[in-house]
Amino acid sequence: MLAEVVRLKIAALGPEGTYSAHAAFMWDRSAELLYRDDFEAVFEAVESGEAGAGVVPVENSLEGAVSQNMDLLLRRKPKIVGEVVVPIRHCLLGRGKRTEVRVVVSHPQALAQCRQYLRRSFPGAEIRSTGSTAHAAKLAQEFPEMAAIAGANVAEKYGLEVLERDIQDNGNNATRFAIISCEPAMMTGRDKTSLAVYLDRDRPGALYAILGEFASRDINLTRIESRPSRRGLGDYYFFIDLEGHRDDPPVRAALDAVRSSATMVKVLGSYPAVSWEKR
The percentage of residues in the chain with a pLDDT greater than 90, rounded to a whole number, is 84
Between 274 and 258, name the one with better pLDDT: 258
**Spatial CB neighbours of 142, under 8 Å, sequence gap ≥ 6:** none
Q: Dump strand ranges (E) for 40-185.
A: 53-60, 64-65, 79-87, 91-94, 103-106, 126-129, 146-150, 161-164, 174-181
Domain 9-88+173-181 belongs in CATH node 3.40.190.10 = yes
pLDDT digit string (tens) for 110-157?
Answer: 999 999 999 999 999 999 999 999 999 999 999 999 999 999 999 999
Q: Which residue in the list 177, 214, 238, 239 is annotated as catalytic?
A: 177
For residue 51, give the nearest of 70, 72, 24, 29 by alpha carbon. Answer: 24
Fold match between domain 91-164 and domain 194-268: no
pLDDT at 278 (0 to 100): 39
The pLDDT, as a whole number, for residue 201 is 64
Is the per-residue pLDDT at 3 higher than 70?
A: no
Q: What is the pLDDT of residue 30?
A: 94
- CATH classification number, 194-268, choose in 3.20.20.10, 3.30.70.260, 3.10.20.30, 3.90.470.20: 3.30.70.260
Separation of alpha carbons 41 and 95, rounded Å: 31
CA distance 185 to 182: 9
Give the per-residue pLDDT at 232: 73
Span 61-75, pLDDT tens digits: 989 999 999 999 999
**Of 22, 9, 42, the residue nearest 153 (C-alpha):** 22
CB atoms within 10 A of CB 107: 24
Q: Which of 112, 269, 240 is nearest to 178 (CA)?
A: 269
Please report the pLDDT score of residue 4 as a whole number. Answer: 54
Q: What is the largest CA-CA distance in the chain?
A: 68
- Annotated catalytic residue: which of 18, 130, 133, 175? 175
Flag whether pLDDT at 23 surpasses 60: yes
The residue among 19, 17, 20 whose CA lies nearest residue 45 is 20
Q: Is the pLDDT of residue 6 over 90?
A: no
pLDDT digits (tens, 9 = 90+) for 188-220: 999 999 999 998 766 677 888 899 999 999 999
Instruction: Give the range among 40-49, 202-211, 233-242 with minimum mean pLDDT.
Output: 202-211
Q: How many helices (H) and strands (E) does the chain have?
A: 8, 15
| Averaged pLDDT for residues 44-66 | 95
Per-residue H/E/C for 54-88: EEEEEEECCCEECHHHHHHHHHCCCEEEEEEEEEC
Q: What is the pLDDT of residues 30-43, one digit of tens each?
A: 999 999 999 999 99
Q: What mean pLDDT value characterizes the chain?
A: 92
pLDDT confidence of residue 1:
45
To the query of whether residue 188 is one of the catalytic residues in this protein, the response is no
Active site residue 25: no
Nearest to 74 by CA among 45, 51, 40: 40
CATH number of 91-164: 3.40.190.10
Q: State how far the Cα of 219 lies from the Cα of 243, in Å rounded to an integer.
A: 6
Q: Give me the mean pLDDT over the 231-241 stretch.
A: 85
* Domain locations along the chain: 9-88+173-181, 91-164, 194-268
Is beta strand 191-198 parallel, antiparallel or unpaired with respect to 264-272?
antiparallel
- With a CB cutoff of 8 Å and minimum separation 6, the contacts of 200 are 206, 263
